[in-house]
Amino acid sequence: MKIGIVCPYSWDVPGGVQFHIRDLAEHLIGLGHEVSVLAPADDDTPLPPYVVSAGRAVPVPYNGSVARLNFGFLSAARVRRWLHDGTFDVIHIHEPASPSLGLLSCWAAHGPIVATFHTSNPRSRAMIAAYPILQPALEKISARIAVSEYARRTLVEHLGGDAVVIPNGVDVDFFARAEPNPEWAGTTLGFIGRIDEPRKGLPVLMAAFPKIAEACPDVRLLVAGRGDEEEAVATLPPELRAKVTFLGMVSDEDKARLLRSVDVYVAPNTGGESFGIILVEALSAGATVLASDLDAFAQVLDQGAAGELFANEDPDALAAAAIGLLRDPDRRTALAVHGSAHVRRFDWSTVGADILAVYETVTMGAAAVATDERVPLRTRLGLTRDPGA
């Protein structure tokens, strides 16, 4: 099958959507499919052979973060050329409602279109206001996927229609077989995320850290991600700053080793999360996970059976939970064992098969149109129309 995948966000600024698209493309290529990914990227950025640049992206504040998007006449021309040259059996557009390549591709594409919605934003005035503009493009979509129930709810409430829920995928074995780094061992907490993005929650963790350090004097905090490191520890007493080690941006291999090494992985995110791919990666590595009780995080952590939850944006609750876990190795082991079993449902062997089933269904429907044969598509795919009608 020839598959075209559209990434809305800049390929050279890593994020959960980009990682999901990268891993999906490589999984499909490994199965023998022909895959091309169109993504915003600086023209001098080294790209995998399956990625085509649509030009440089610009930063736009969105959903409590900064999304690097690509939109304009040059981008539209590159989209049309990519679609023309690709002659794809199916186009898979991620975030078609964002003002980037997804929307441009939806406007320009013909044939079977699958769309994945990642955003969880229950009060998006911008999405509501933009609906009249988005509607003609969204009506071309053959099947809709949401990465979580919360992303599906955002879609239903703002844009109408429905979607099948297929979560983000992870190569579970990649994380499970990583070797711990002895230098990161000990009484260790871990955090991975953009340091200067408030919704990732590092300030909440920093506010909790003095109480954790008082109860567990040997504790260390490892922080991986880009941002202002001095500003991140500015609220800590000077004597505690040495207990925080900043690793900067880390490779996938070092991320896996970090998650295999820490006693507790902390996800103090404060909102705007529709899934929580880092939680799945941590569970895959066998880490004990402590996360804020966002709805999406609670779902990934099996409502607290696969990881500990604490009250969102409450440093005292975070501190109490972290201290309890650091002092109770049996509890950590029990959570890790449950998490390692629970996380298998997110492996690409399962997620990839579900996505391929959607592709096959919409391409069968398109073939039925050509032969005037009616093939009913499953309503659980969230179709806006029946391609066989």
Task: Say how many C-beta atoms besides its own lie within 10 A of residue 367's C-beta.
Answer: 15
Q: What is the pLDDT of residue 157?
A: 82
**How do the domains of the chain map onto residue ranges?**
2-169+347-381, 172-345
Closest-CA residue to 384 (of 149, 180, 144): 144
CA 19 – CA 6 distance, rounded (Å): 13
Q: What is the pLDDT of residue 128?
A: 55
Q: What is the pLDDT of residue 122?
A: 58
Give φ, ψ of 92 to 5 degrees.
-115, 110
Closest-CA residue to 315 (of 241, 212, 207, 211): 207
Local structure of 34: helix, strand or coil: strand
Q: What amino acid occupies position 226?
A: R
Residues, the chain, total? 389
| Tens place of pLDDT per residue across the chain (389 aa) | 999 999 988 888 778 899 999 999 999 999 999 999 999 888 788 899 999 998 876 665 555 555 555 666 778 888 999 999 999 999 999 988 877 788 889 889 989 999 999 887 655 555 555 556 677 778 899 999 999 998 898 888 877 788 999 999 999 999 999 999 999 988 999 999 999 889 999 999 999 999 999 999 999 999 999 999 999 999 999 999 999 999 999 999 999 999 999 999 999 999 888 899 999 999 999 999 999 999 999 999 999 999 999 999 999 999 999 999 999 999 999 999 999 999 999 999 999 999 999 999 999 876 655 555 444 444 445 544 443 33
Q: What is the pLDDT of residue 71?
A: 63
Query: Between 329-342 and 277-284, two packed helices, what is the crossing angle to 10 degrees?
Result: 110
Query: Between 125-138 and 149-159, two packed helices, what is the crossing angle to 10 degrees?
Result: 80
CB within 8 A of 198, min separation 6: which ones?
64, 270
User: 145-148: which pairs have CB atoms within 8 A and are 24 or more residues apart?
Assistant: 145/114, 145/115, 145/116, 145/117, 145/355, 145/358, 145/382, 146/116, 146/117, 146/274, 146/382, 147/20, 147/116, 147/117, 147/118, 147/274, 147/275, 148/120, 148/274, 148/275, 148/296, 148/299
CA 102 – CA 116 distance, rounded (Å): 10
Q: Residue 60 forms beta bridges with which residues? A: 67
Do the strands 58-62 and 65-69 form a parallel or antiparallel pair, or are they unpaired?
Answer: antiparallel
- Are 42 and 33 in contact by the 8 Å Cβ rule? The answer is no
> Which CATH architecture group holds 2-169+347-381?
3-Layer(aba) Sandwich (3.40)
Which tokens belong to 275? 């899934």
> Which CATH architecture group holds 172-345?
3-Layer(aba) Sandwich (3.40)
Which tokens belong to 336? 């890790």
Which tokens belong to 264? 């507790």
- Are 343 and 283 in contact by the 8 Å Cβ rule? The answer is yes
